[in-house]
């Protein structure tokens, strides 16, 4: 249940914007806590991203060793937020305190208010509704906390479970990016899907409350 173009391949040449939050935004759902990833999570990172299924579907080789895992964790998770390129959460089960996956935003374009998501989950926790719960909260934060208008995801065409997941959350299939990824000597396709701010109800989120003329007038009078 991982999208093809994961956050670990996004090293854009565009100058990154400044940080969008002063402190890391920990998110809560009924069963999950989405928290900051730290260097002490490197053993999990090494084990998790060495799963052959995750390697195949993200089209990104596993870290060679613990030192490589620490370097990737710093570059693609910790520095991601500090440099204003996006944000990555570690997914923790509240019941056990176990770190079971990651999810987040990358390739953040401030000017167009768009960003791309990536996610991954340990295989023993898949098909239990966990990722749906995590992504719904992450999408809410993207629209409300980051001010996004467009959220995009690229998925391996073979990854039926991931395509079904984002469809459940209201993402609209836009088309296929033909041979947009090169991995292990082969060019691979990506399916591109997106969700717009005005479509947030499709993800099971409450609609954005419109500001009435009366409330704007009252706010002006109060000021």
Whether the predicted pLDDT of 170 surpasses 80:
yes
Q: Work out the average pLDDT over 191-202.
A: 96
Mean of all residue pLDDT scores within the chain = 88
Pairing between strand 150-155 and 114-121?
A: parallel
Query: Can you give the pLDDT at residue 12?
Result: 39
Q: pLDDT confidence of 206, banded at 50, 70, 90?
A: confident
Percentage of the residues of the chain whose pLDDT score is greater than 90:
78
Query: Can you give the pLDDT at residue 222?
Result: 52
pLDDT one-digit tens code per residue, 107-159:
999 999 999 999 999 999 999 999 999 999 999 999 999 999 999 999 999 99
CA triplet 193, 196, 198: central angle to 5 degrees? 150
- The full 3-state SS of the chain, as one line of letters, equals CCCCCCHHHCCCCCCCCCCCCCCCCCEECCCEEEEECCHHHHHHHHHHCCCHHHHHHHCCCCCCCHHHHHHHHHHHHHHHHHCCCCEEEEEEECCCCCEEEEEEEEEEECCCCEEEEEEEECHHHCCCCHHHHHHHHHHHHHHHCCCCCEEEEEECCCCHHHHHHHHHCCCEEEEEEEEEEEECCEEEEEEEEEEEHHHHHHHCCCCCCCCCHHHHHHHHHHC
Q: Work out the average pLDDT over 65-80.
A: 96
Q: Work out the average pLDDT over 26-36.
A: 97
The hierarchical CATH code for the domain 7-222 is 3.40.630.30
- Please tell me the pTM assigned to this model: 0.84
Whether the predicted pLDDT of 169 surpasses 80:
yes
Q: Work out the average pLDDT over 11-27.
A: 59
């Amino acid at each position: 249940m991982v999208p093809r173009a994961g956050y670990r391949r996004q090293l854009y040449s565009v100058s990154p914007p400044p940080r969008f939050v002063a402190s890391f935004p920990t998110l809560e759902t009924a069963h999950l806590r989405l928290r900051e990833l730290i260097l002490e999570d490197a053993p999990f990172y090494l084990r998790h991203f060495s799963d052959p299924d995750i390697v195949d579907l993200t089209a990104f080789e596993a870290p060679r060793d613990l030192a490589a895992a620490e370097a990737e964790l710093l570059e693609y998770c910790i520095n991601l937020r500090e440099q204003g390129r996006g944000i990555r959460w570690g997914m923790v089960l509240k019941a056990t305190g176990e770190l079971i996956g990651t999810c987040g935003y990358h390739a953040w374009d401030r000017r167009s208010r768009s960003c791309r998501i990536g996610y991954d989950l340990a295989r023993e926790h898949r098909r239990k509704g966990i990722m749906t719960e995590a992504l719904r909260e992450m999408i809410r934060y993207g629209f409300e906390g980051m001010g996004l208008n467009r959220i995009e995801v690229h998925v391996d065409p073979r990854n039926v479970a991931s395509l079904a997941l984002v469809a459940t959350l209201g993402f609209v299939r836009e088309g296929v990016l033909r041979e947009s990824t090169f991995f292990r000597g082969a060019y691979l396709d990506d399916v591109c899907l997106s969700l717009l701010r005005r479509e947030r109800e499709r993800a099971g989120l409450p609609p954005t409350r419109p500001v009435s003329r009366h409330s704007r007038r009252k706010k002006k009078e109060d000021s």
